């Protein structure tokens, strides 16, 4: 996470909102915001070095870098290429994946296929965002939600533990419910932040998120012939505590079995699932052998899940 923290109380000073509203409607208490000049690549570099250390490998053993991000440093080269250079591993495949808040699950799914097919041995998979640069700080419907951060894992071939299955989907018919108003080939202006800002029809997104995440949980369990009681931990995308609670309820899981970071991190989009995974593991709550269900939902719409035996 970047060091700088902006609390709800801080936001009250420049936007028409209250700490009470934000906590009640989203569960968010504070969020981390990248410092001036601090980039997506800076954060994912730090996260990657920690993931590499945690995996007990040397960076040179990595043969593929996949980064989930919607807020790359540049349009191109990809942030994965910038990261690869910083890690000193030239020649490895490196590319970004943009599936909004589901980007990390998409990246994990791709990495899993490469490893299972034998085409890659060790893959660095990350999710990283500087979403606060893409939003309008004066728009209370989005500014209180989004945040910055990065998380990473190293995947390698093994019979177990590991990724049991991944599931990814999208539906472009909902593209206008959540996204940026301008891009490179649409509406770009060389003034006022390039016209860049996130807009969202929050209520519609909320309903779709709850419904869709419920469905992907069913799909994941069915594909693995598994009962919901076999899931030890839910590691959800951290958009809204109420959305997370709805998925937990569907799984009949007590909230103690759900990793929550939204209160301190806000919605870090592609970074939220790996950050929650990191917190669950480093805090010692998630133990070897535990069954983890990761899920995410984001703009596009996109959504996905991964079932993992830790």
Catalytic residues: 101, 237, 267
Under rule CB under 6 A, residue 243 binds ligand UT7: yes
**Closest separation between CB of residue 18 and ligand UT7, Å?**
6
Under rule CB under 6 A, residue 280 binds ligand UT7: no
Q: How far is Cα 245 from Cα 51, in angstroms, rounded to an integer?
A: 29
Residue 152 main-chain phi, psi, to 5 deg = -150, 155
Residue 198 main-chain phi, psi, to 5 deg = -85, 135
Task: Pick the piece of the chain touching ligand UT7 (CB under 6 A) from 44-52, 88-96, 182-190, 201-209.
Answer: 201-209
Which of 2, 68, 298, 300 touches ligand UT7 by CB under 6 A?
298
Under rule CB under 6 A, residue 214 binds ligand UT7: no
Q: Which is nearer to ligand UT7, 67 or 101 (CB)?
A: 101
Under rule CB under 6 A, residue 108 binds ligand UT7: no
Which of 34, 205, 213, 292 touches ligand UT7 by CB under 6 A?
205
Name the nearest CA neighbour of 293 among 248, 250, 215, 231.
231
Q: Which is nearer to ligand UT7, 103 or 166 (CB)?
A: 103
Q: How far is Cα 276 from Cα 62, in angstroms, rounded to an integer?
A: 23
Task: Pick the piece of the chain touching ligand UT7 (CB under 6 A) from 15-23, 190-198, 219-227, 286-294.
Answer: 15-23
Under rule CB under 6 A, residue 140 binds ligand UT7: yes
Which of 1, 82, 97, 101 touches ligand UT7 by CB under 6 A?
101
Under rule CB under 6 A, residue 26 binds ligand UT7: yes
Under rule CB under 6 A, residue 21 binds ligand UT7: yes
Which of 202, 215, 245, 250 touches ligand UT7 by CB under 6 A?
202
Under rule CB under 6 A, residue 144 binds ligand UT7: yes
Cβ neighbours, 10 Å, residue 203: 9
Nearest position to ligand UT7, beta carbon:
202
Under rule CB under 6 A, residue 267 binds ligand UT7: yes
Under rule CB under 6 A, residue 95 binds ligand UT7: no
Under rule CB under 6 A, residue 224 binds ligand UT7: no
User: Residue numbers of the site for ligand UT7 (CB under 6 A)?
Assistant: 17, 21-22, 25-26, 101, 140-141, 144, 202-203, 205-206, 209, 239-240, 243, 267, 297-298
């Amino acid at each position: 996470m970047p060091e700088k923290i902006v609390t709800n109380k801080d936001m009250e000073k420049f936007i028409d909102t209250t700490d009470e509203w934000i906590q009640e409607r989203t569960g968010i208490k504070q969020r981390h915001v990248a410092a001036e000049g601090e980039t997506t690549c800076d954060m994912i570099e730090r996260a990657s070095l920690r993931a590499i250390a945690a995996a007990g490998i040397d960076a040179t053993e990595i043969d593929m870098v996949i980064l989930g991000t919607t807020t790359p440093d540049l349009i191109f080269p990809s942030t994965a290429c910038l990261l690869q250079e910083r890690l000193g591993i030239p020649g490895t495949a490196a590319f970004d994946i943009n599936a909004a808040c589901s980007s990390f699950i998409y990246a994990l799914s791709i990495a899993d296929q490469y490893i299972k097919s034998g085409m890659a041995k060790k893959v660095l998979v990350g999710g990283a965002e500087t979403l606060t640069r893409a939003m309008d700080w004066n728009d209370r419907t989005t500014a209180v939600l989004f945040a910055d951060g990065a998380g990473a894992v190293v995947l390698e071939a093994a019979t177990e533990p590991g990724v049991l299955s991944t599931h990814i989907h999208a539906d472009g018919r909902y593209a206008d419910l959540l996204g940026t108003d301008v891009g490179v080939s649409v509406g770009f202006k060389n003034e006022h932040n390039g016209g860049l800002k996130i807009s969202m029809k929050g209520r519609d997104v909320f309903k779709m998120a709850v419904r869709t995440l419920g469905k992907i949980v069913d799909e994941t369990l069915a594909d693995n012939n598994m009962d919901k009681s076999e899931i030890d931990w839910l590691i959800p995308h951290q958009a809204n505590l109420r959305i997370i609670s709805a998925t937990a309820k569907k799984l009949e899981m007590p909230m103690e079995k759900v990793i929550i970071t939204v209160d301190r991190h806000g919605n870090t989009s592609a970074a939220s699932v790996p950050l929650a995974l990191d917190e669950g593991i480093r805090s010692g709550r998630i133990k070897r052998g535990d069954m983890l269900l990761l899920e995410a939902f984001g703009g596009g719409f996109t959504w996905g899940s991964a079932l993992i035996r830790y």
